[in-house]
A and B are shown apart, each in its own frame.
Chain A
């Protein structure tokens, strides 16, 4: 569980201090204030052993190409593209102080790296070398836990793209998943997770919750089309149809449930959680998400633009989980710095009851 988060020089934030995060945490605020940036910072923090840790973030935003130069490759994650400043992400995770520092290094000395095998046409033999390459640009990433350095790695631009060199790593990061607002869910991941649940007889949990959105769903099964297993459902029309055909809302809800119930993700990040969900079932959806998250010890951190979504969250979060909910509204102060307003469950209820704006 991520208990708090501090950001320095990350994307739009010169500095941001979020003192209280809960099991279910919702972020609101106007456009371009940094709601998605907060989710991305958390994802980057936990995704730190992935060579694509930065490129994935661009991909989530719909950007599929970039240039192989530091200012283009990792400039966007630095505040004002200023790669000379150090990014710092400080968290309390399960009551441990953890921090990640990211620094641009213009003269990184790449370690011994085998050059790609080269086959010469006239004299076929494989040539390889272990000699050091010249220096290159890199991001030096260090990670501390309770004051002790437990990981050091370097993300660098290699001959074929980004490479990650991990000098050492003594801990296993919490697993986080990111659900972007605009990307479709990955059917293969969903199928795999569902299969694992089916094997241990827990797939009915998913079915029961999905019925909140569409009561016609009788059964879910995996059907392989081509080489790809795809989740299908029976809605009583005489044949099974892919779940995705029921709509974005149910697909997204299914993905979310699978991520939670699979027990493999501890922190689930959802951008614009309300997308595709009809208002009439939104409170029930919130109730389900909160209860399943508690049962499977998951944390849900999400963004929203929707007043309906906030009302639904307030109505749906079970009373016994009231102290496990926070709504955090980001806003820009007179010095152009981004600050947070934290509403606990009761405060949000007061504001909503009075019809006060909270977004």
Chain B
């Protein structure tokens, strides 16, 4: 089954893990559920790169994984040829800031500009164009970091979170010539490994309640997705 645009409100994310995470987040806070629309389920089949969420008011939002930020840049010009793209009413992007919020934001703006798609001036604010376009940069539209950073922020009061830092510090002593990168990714992996059922996927962690999805650190993100 192919990943087909089946809704007029579309959210593009980096990977499948983000799809699972956002589905769990929006389900927890706003009771959005994976669609039961049989026509949509028939069209999407068992395609893992996309899901459709039903809002309680009957509206539908589709999330598609673009398979990584590098690919996104080079392949977006092909993606916009997909059936249904021209009929979109809203289009949103969520990606990690990584080392720089500004670079990440500019990177998406550049891709949109290159493909003659409207783009916002500021993150988390939708354009008033057709389609409406919005960009959200993890973790908070201003800092460096990733979705993992945001998730870890939700557990900032967790007593054993400090153990993750100790573990990484300890291990890094064995690799004195290597700079430890992607700290929050590593911390989240260590954190998840401590859970009852071991699964290193952040989205599955959200489904299992390992992150505190009610924490206010997710408010801006849920607000952005709700406004799609």
Cβ distance A31 to chain B, nearest Cβ, rounded Å: 13
* Residues of chain B contacted by A357 (CB below 8 angstroms): 2-5, 82-84
A354 to B4, CA, bound (A): 11
Cβ distance B111 to chain A, nearest Cβ, rounded Å: 14
Q: Judge whether A355 and B49 touch: CB under 8 Å.
A: yes
A356 to B86, CA, bound (A): 15
**Residue from B77, B79, B83 having most chain A Cβ neighbours under 10 A:** B83
**Taking the complex as formed, is B209 at the interface, i.e. its CB lies under 8 A from any CB of chain A?**
no
A10 to B155, CA, bound (A): 64
**Chain A interface residue count, Cβ-Cβ cutoff 8 angstroms:** 17
Residues B113-135 near A (CB distance < 8 A): none
A255 to B103, CA, bound (A): 57
A residues with CB within 8 A of B? 30, 307, 329, 331, 333-334, 341, 343, 347, 350-351, 354-359
**Beta-carbon contacts of B1-16 to A below 8 Å, as 1s and 0s?**
1111100000000000
Q: Judge whether A351 and B81 touch: CB under 8 Å.
A: yes
* Residues of chain B contacted by A351 (CB below 8 angstroms): 78-79, 81-82
* Residues of chain A contacted by B75 (CB below 8 angstroms): 350, 354
Partner of B78, one of A333, A355, A356: A356
**Taking the complex as formed, is B168 at the interface, i.e. its CB lies under 8 A from any CB of chain A?**
no
Partner of A333, one of B49, B67, B84, B86: B86
Residues B51-108 near A (CB distance < 8 A): 66-67, 71, 75, 77-79, 81-84, 86-87
Q: Judge whether B87 and A358 touch: CB under 8 Å.
A: no
Top 6 nearest A-B pairs (CB, nearest first) are A357-B4, A341-B81, A357-B2, A350-B78, A347-B78, A355-B3
Q: Judge whether A356 and B87 touch: CB under 8 Å.
A: no
Given contacts A307-B2, A351-B79, 7 further A-B contacts (CB under 8 A): A343-B78, A343-B81, A354-B3, A356-B78, A357-B5, A358-B81, A358-B82
* Residues of chain A contacted by B81 (CB below 8 angstroms): 329, 341, 343, 347, 351, 358
* Residues of chain A contacted by B180 (CB below 8 angstroms): none
Given the known inter-chain contacts A307-B2, A334-B87, please indicate yes or no for A355 contacting B82, CB distance below 8 A.
Answer: no
A-B contact count (CB 8 A): 52
* Residues of chain A contacted by B5 (CB below 8 angstroms): 357
Given the known inter-chain contacts A354-B3, A355-B3, A357-B4, please indicate yes or no for A331 contacting B86, CB distance below 8 A.
Answer: yes
B residues with CB within 8 A of A? 1-5, 47, 49, 66-67, 71, 75, 77-79, 81-84, 86-87
Q: Judge whether A354 and B86 touch: CB under 8 Å.
A: no
Q: Judge whether B2 and A355 touch: CB under 8 Å.
A: yes
* Residues of chain B contacted by A329 (CB below 8 angstroms): 81, 83
* Residues of chain A contacted by B83 (CB below 8 angstroms): 30, 329, 331, 357-359
**Residue from A30, A329, A356 having most chain B Cβ neighbours under 10 A:** A356
Cβ distance A124 to chain B, nearest Cβ, rounded Å: 70
A-B contact pairs, 21 of them (CB 8 A): A329-B81, A329-B83, A331-B83, A334-B87, A343-B81, A347-B81, A354-B3, A354-B49, A354-B66, A354-B71, A354-B75, A355-B2, A355-B3, A355-B47, A355-B49, A356-B2, A356-B4, A357-B4, A357-B84, A358-B83, A359-B2
* Residues of chain A contacted by B47 (CB below 8 angstroms): 355
A22 to B67, CA, bound (A): 31
Partner of B67, one of A307, A341, A347, A354: A354
A143 to B82, CA, bound (A): 37
A329 to B78, CA, bound (A): 12
**Residue from A30, A307, A354, A358 having most chain B Cβ neighbours under 10 A:** A354
A266 to B81, CA, bound (A): 30
* Residues of chain B contacted by A356 (CB below 8 angstroms): 2-4, 78-79, 82
**Residue from B5, B47, B77, B82 having most chain A Cβ neighbours under 10 A:** B82
**Residue from A30, A333, A343, A355 having most chain B Cβ neighbours under 10 A:** A355
Cβ distance B77 to chain A, nearest Cβ, rounded Å: 8
* Residues of chain A contacted by B2 (CB below 8 angstroms): 307, 355-359
A67 to B15, CA, bound (A): 59
What is the chain A residue whose CB lies nearest that of B2?
Answer: A357
A200 to B3, CA, bound (A): 50
Cβ distance B136 to chain A, nearest Cβ, rounded Å: 22
